[in-house]
Structure 1
Amino acid sequence: MASPRLHVLAISARYTPDAIAIAMDMDMDALAFARSDELPNDVGPPAGPVIQTVVNTKPLQDTPFVAPFVPCSPPTVAAALDFAAVAPGDTLLDLGCGDARILFHALAKHPTLQCVGVELDPLLAQYISQQIHARHLSKHFAFIPADMYTIDITELGATVAILYLLTPGIAKLKPLLSTWLNAVHGSRVVTVTYAIPDWQPADTMLVTGTHTNPAPRLFKYTSESIR
């Protein structure tokens, strides 16, 4: 049987760089995001250079995007990884991974970890691919530039997922997440700020040390908690 790393990389190979090139040819006027009533009241100024995106240029309506690119703060990223109990033997999945900071941070903490990121925005996809190459992480980071709703997450071999999406986007993932949680022993999913509708979390926690208002809350779900 192939190793988990080879298995994940084989799956991600279905999504070649051509997928990014094709996405870059999309009508930019038909895409994007700018505002949402569900966003935190005070996101705060960016700590570093702002990454160019397609998704943040216009409203989400009538686009394939379900959430803007609003990066997690470093304290939130660290808290989410600890709360999810991410360990070196895990395969960590982030659907709608943005600039993949959660995954890059996880690999900095656990270099032997396996990570899978899925992101539709072509500019973010390009950035992630460049960062994987620049950081020499291709053996541990499988990136899929695709619509997360088209991915069979069970076949990725993920053991833990961390998601930062708006409620409608999370709700649409429920069938995929339910199948995965029930198929993979010990699997768990942590969501940032937004709970999974109608699911009972196994645990929650409030993140401290951030500049957002209100402070982010984390929600953890397992196969047992959603029954």
Structure 2
Amino acid sequence: MREGKSGFEQNARRSQKRLAMTLGALVGLVLCGIVIGQRLGTSSWRSQSSMQQRPPLDVPYVPTPPEVVDEMLRMAAVTKDDVVYDLGCGDGRIVIAAAKKYGARGVGVDIDPQRIKEAHENARKEGVADRVKFIQQDLFQTDLSEATVVTLYLLPDINLKLRPKLWRELRSGARVVSHAFTMGDWEPERTANVDGRMVYFWTIPPKKMGSTGVKP
């Protein structure tokens, strides 16, 4: 009887041990699942937060072909004395070209932080980082008074909204060049067709005393 009882107790202890190990494993799996779920939830929240913080873009990013960049700068007669502002600068190619080819200073403005990052890197690679700068900003909030040349590749409605600001803030004689889109009833002084892509050119005329930004 003692031997039978001892064997029974040993089996019972082994069963309890296996049960405890099984329960421990199950608890571990549950806790692991909770941690993973929390991490995934945090990652998802961060991803959603990042998307929410990304500024809305009024104009999709479409790079200007190099031959159009060259024509825009040529049409504006850019020199080393100019300060070229590119509104909606994308990867910075226009102001970088102005600095590299003509020795001008340049300022690129874009609301997209990714484009600004690319522009800084491109300027560094081209060796003109000391002559250009890039600002992450809404172009309608940008002070244009320093610019002698403004380049654009926006959209027709954005050009029209921007037009009073150009007249108001740019000095007389400043040049404006737009790729693809006009300025409504503000007739361009010159146009060029570059492989089917239109380029338009205007000059800010002498300002009248007390001008409020209404069309000259």
Give the TM-score taking structure 1 as reference length: 0.65
- 2:199 aligned with 1:176: no
1:166 maps to what in 2?
A: 155
In the alignment, what sits opposite 2:15? none
Q: Which has the higher contact order (CA 8 A, sep 6+)?
A: 1
Which residue of structure 2 aligns with residue 138 of structure 1? Answer: 129
User: What residue in structure 2 maps to residue 96 of structure 1?
Assistant: 88
Higher helix fraction (1 or 2): 2
Displacement of 1:221 after TM fit? 1.2
Matched residue SS, 2:191: strand
Q: Residues 69 and 89 (structure 1 numbering): CA distance in 2 closer, same or farther, change over 3 Å?
A: same
Determine the C-alpha separation between the residues in 2 that align with 1:26 and 1:185: 44
> 2:210: which partner in 1?
none
Letter in 1 for 2:205: E
Mapped to 2, the partners of 1:117 and 1:189 lie a distance apart of 15
Q: Partners of 1:89 and 1:180 in 2: how far apart? A: 19
User: For the structure 1 residues 139 and 26, does the alpha-carbon distance in structure 2 shift closer, same or farther, using more than 3 Å as the test?
Assistant: farther
Stretches of structure 1 lacking an aligned partner (at least 5 in a row)? 1-23, 32-62, 209-214
Number of matched residues? 162
Pairwise CA distance, 1:77: 0.9
Partner of 2:118: 127
Paired residue for 2:183?
196
Is 1:221 the counterpart of 2:202? The answer is yes
How far does the alpha carbon of each residue in 1:82-110 deviate from its partner, in whole angstroms, 9 at most, with x for none? 11111111111100001111112222212
> Taking structure 1 as reference, are residues 26 and 70 closer, same or farther at Cα in structure 2, changes over 3 Å only?
farther
Percent identity between the two aligned chains? 33
Q: Is the 8 A contact 1:195 1:219 kept in 2?
A: yes
Give 1:133 deviation, angstroms: 3.4
SS of the residue aligned with 1:143?
A: strand
Q: Which has the larger radius of gyration?
A: 2
1:79 aligns with 2:66: no
Within 5 A, what are the aligned runs for 1:4-83? 27-28=50-51, 64-83=56-75
